Each structure stands twice: as structure tokens, then as C-alpha cells.
Structure 1
């Protein structure tokens, strides 16, 4: 029987194959670049075939390397699962998400945790709208923007639909919000440092207001919405992300017009790695939570 290659060398191959760069792999493994190179060379010698093509601009997997990689990934996934099960303590799923989706995501994660305390989730929030699984150690992430990179396994949660929102006391105040022009009597709350969201909605409404450049500008949508709940002005919000506040009566939507921007919120994970059963269960649950929100039609 042929002697099996050493496990550390196989792990080094796995990490190197995922980034195709000796220097990057060395940083992830906390060893020197020379040590990575020697381990790969030793593994190739043991196996009797090359795993990487060395090129001026980096590495690429050979045919044998591409065939071996998914099998090695499966082996280490089984080892990780076995260690976790024997240890009796389930490691938390690591999830990254932008702050703009917190109003929708956080209540649902709290509900998930109440229903499935055996599958904990640790949430990392960020003002960034993207993720780089090559350098960020997350099991999955929610991202916002256009269609994600093809190297990501992705599920669309829902499209962005812009519509103004405000506190009910503002709507019932002495300055009504019955026509688009009435917006000129109120402070506009911008969810970004520019005014592109308000401009997009007003353009779709076929109107203009003179106070578009005034009001308050915020770094995140969540901040703008929080100020709107206090009755300080009219925020340009997202129909889905405002849903819980609208149903609870903390916010109202004075106009029926909702504008799709072409951007959306996606749940993504690395394509190179099959999700664990626990992550798959969480993904399916979140997709179920998001189901139906796209039924809202643009007025």
C-alpha cells in the first residue's frame, strides 16, 4: 500500500490552491513563503505529478491539481465536522452583513437564534457592501449591489425599492404630505453623503423639489431611518427594509410610488466550498423569510 502524504502538506495544498499565491498562502498559514514552496514541492514529489504551474504572474492549478482539490476539500470538511461533533460544541456560523440591512436582518437572526439555539450565528456588521472570502474568514455574507461575482455562490434576497418614509406624527402634522410638491416643506433625510437616492425617486415621480440639496446627509441607511422615526424629516428608505417599521406603525409611506434601482441584496458564500448542513439550513431559512417581499408591485 502506498504511503499517504502528510496531512500538513495536504492542508498547505488546500490553502494555496484557494488563493494560487505562495505569499498569500504563507500569510494565511503563518509560515514562510519558502516553507510553503517546500511543502508543495515535497507533496508533488510524493504524488508523482505536478499540482501547480509556476508562472511569472503567479500560480495556476494543473489538471491533476484541479481534480485533487475538491477531494481534499471534502476530506478536511469531514475532519472539521467530526471534530465539532465529538467536541459536543457547535461552532458559531460567521456571517458578515452591511449596516444598511440591519433593520431587516437582525430581528430575523434573533428569531433564528430563539428557534435554533444549537446553531449559533455571530454577525459582523460593516459599512462595506461587499466581501472577499479570500482574506475574510466568514461562512457567508449579505452583500448589496449589482449581480455578484461569478466566483460566489449567491441567492438574491430582494431588490432595492426606494420610497419616502416618515414618522406618522409628521404625516398628521400641520404640513401635509399629499402631493410630491409638499416635500419642499419638510427636511429631506439622505441615506448617503450624496443625494442620488432622492434624485432617482423624484426622477421616476416626474417632479423636482427645490430643497433637494438641503437636509441631513448620513453615512448609512439605518441612521437616516432612525432619525425619520424620531419625526425629524422624510427619509428616502427601502420598501423591504422599512417593512417592520411600517407594520409596527413607527414609520409610514406617504406615497405609493416605489422605484427599483436595479440593485439588490444577496446572500453569498464561497463557490469553492460546499456549505455545511448548518449553513445550508440557515440560508434556506433566510430565503424563506425573504420570500414574498418581491410581490410588492411598483406603483
Structure 2
């Protein structure tokens, strides 16, 4: 087996730059050192190998036969080192962040604000999915999950994000044809979310409205669908304030009644307590808490 000759890296780097650029001065400028430092590094390599690598004159340098033989191998090695270093280094590297969120929270709040997160953290790519009903929020392939409440029986860390505040919302055109008092709901079609089937009953009871059957009306798989139906003038939906704020700000929905009912619990960002947070998750968590503060 041939014995591998391992020369010091700095002299090799100095030699490669000087050979490629054709001078010690140019090599020094590229490596941010002086021409004298490059000359000394090359001399160290020549002493180590026991051969001359450059023919030196007052104004120029030229590779010897030994230097010309060594340069291509050193150049290839430097390229391989640069590639391997880039692959290992996290600087400038894209990081994947897997987040689960209920579809309505994702559609009505998170997706609308992801461009803001990407502007702040361009190296983080978010993979967003809905949590399956039969799986834990702390699945191994998920970094964190946005939940209503905190799943019980699991070793989870949780950050409170937003309360559940219920408020009826409808289109401006529908409002123009009806009044602004809760009893006027008797003339309106209620839009229900199958994911939150008791919300209208809770709100009507808390608002003191007894003249309306809380369970009549159209039903939709998610609150996001009910909000879209409200935008189209189908009826009045019961919105969660944090999820309908963007609709209210844009004017496609209005909140006709002043009463807002705050329920127990809220939305949380949950993750495995024993699993170290990645840099991407720390950045996402800080951004999320700041936006929902």
C-alpha cells in the first residue's frame, strides 16, 4: 500500500492560488494575505516535498515540471473540499420544516402570512399538512402541530397562540337586507361547520337569543367552507375572530353584532417536549408568537 503524503492545507491553498492566478501578489489578494505570506507558504510546501514548484524571476513565476504535475491534482482536491464543505455547512442551506395545522387555520390564517415568514427566513421551506384524525400531533415526521387545545396523554410542550372568540359574520350585501340585532338572526340561514357543531348553540345561548333553532341551516365540512359560503351571501357563519380578521379587514365579510363570545381553550403550537427544536422550528415559533401576540 502506498503511503499517503499529507501536506499542510494552507501551503497547498497558497500554491493552488498562485499557480492558477500566475503570481504571488494575485494569490495574496484572493486569499486576503500579503504577497510575502503566499511566498512563504509555497516555500514551506517546496521544503516539505523536497522539490521546486515555481521558477521565480523578478517579475513573474512559472511552474516547474513538478509544479505542473502537482497543480491539476491540487486544483481538483480544492474543488472537492469546497463542494463537501458546502454540503456539510448549514450556512445558506435550505432547511425543511414540517408543520401540521387544521385546514381552517391553515387556509384562513397561516397560508396568507407564509410570504411574510419566507421573507424573514428565506432558507426555511415549510411543508404544511393537515393532521390525520387517528395520529398524534407529535408524529416523528412532523416538527410541530397547530392544535385546538393540547392533546392529552402525551409528553408535549405547548405555546398558546390565540383564544377562541366566536362572532357571527356575513357578506355586506346580506347585512344590507337585514338588521344588526341578534334577534334578526331568525330571518337568516345559519352556516354550520361539522368540525365545530355546537358553536351556534353556544353563541346564541350566551347572547340571550332564544327565538332561533341553533341547529338549522347548511352544514359544511370545515369552518373555511362556511366562511366562503358567507362571503357568497348564502347565510351567516360563526367565525373565530383570529381566523376571520383578514376577511373583515378586506371587507368581504362584516361582523354585524357587537357581542363576541370567548370560549375556553384556544389554539396552541405543540411539539415533543424531549425533542430538541431545530433552528427552523425556533424561527417559526418566534415568528408565529410575534404575529399572534
Normalising by the residue count of structure 2, what TM-score does the alignment of the two structures yield?
A: 0.65
Which of 98, 111, 120 in structure 1 is aligned with 2:116?
Answer: 111
Q: Could you say if the C-alpha distance between residues 146 and 273 of structure 1 is closer, same or farther in structure 2, counting changes exceeding 3 Å?
A: closer
**Residue in 1 that maps onto 2:262:** 260
- Equivalents in 2 of 1:250, 1:130: separation in Å? 35
Q: CA RMSD in A?
A: 2.4
1:198 counterpart SS class? helix
Q: Does residue 170 of structure 2 align to residue 166 of structure 1?
A: yes
Q: Confirm or deny that 1:155 pairs with 2:173.
A: no
Residue deviations 1:81-102 (CA, integer Å, cap 9, x gap) = x975369642311111011212
Aligned to 1:240, what secondary structure does the other structure show?
helix
What is the aligned partner in structure 1 of residue 57 from structure 2? Answer: none
Q: Report the Cα distance in structure 2 between the residues aligned to 1:262 and 1:218, rounded to whole angstroms.
A: 23
Alignment-derived partner of residue 246 in structure 2: 244
Separation (CA, whole Å) in 2 of partners of 1:90 and 1:207: 53
The CA deviation at 1:105 is 1.2
Aligned length: 207
Distance 2:134 2:104 in 1: 9
What is residue 148 of structure 2 aligned with on the other side?
A: 144
Within 5 Å, which residues of 2 pair with 1:204-243? 204-243=206-245
TM-score, scaled to structure 1: 0.64
Q: Deviations over 1:17-60 (max 9, x none)?
A: xxxxxxxxxxxxxxxxxxxxxxxxxxxxxxxxxxxxxxxxxxxx
- Stretches of structure 1 that go unaligned for 5 or more consecutive residues are 1-81, 292-299
- Provide structure 2 residue ranges, at least 5 long, that are not aligned to the other structure: 1-85
CA distance in 1, matches of 2:88, 2:292: 30
Name the SS for the 1:246 alignment partner: helix
Moved over 6 A (4+): none
For the residues of structure 1 that align with 2:125 and 2:271, how far apart are their CA atoms?
Answer: 17
Change (3 A) 1:282 1:86: closer
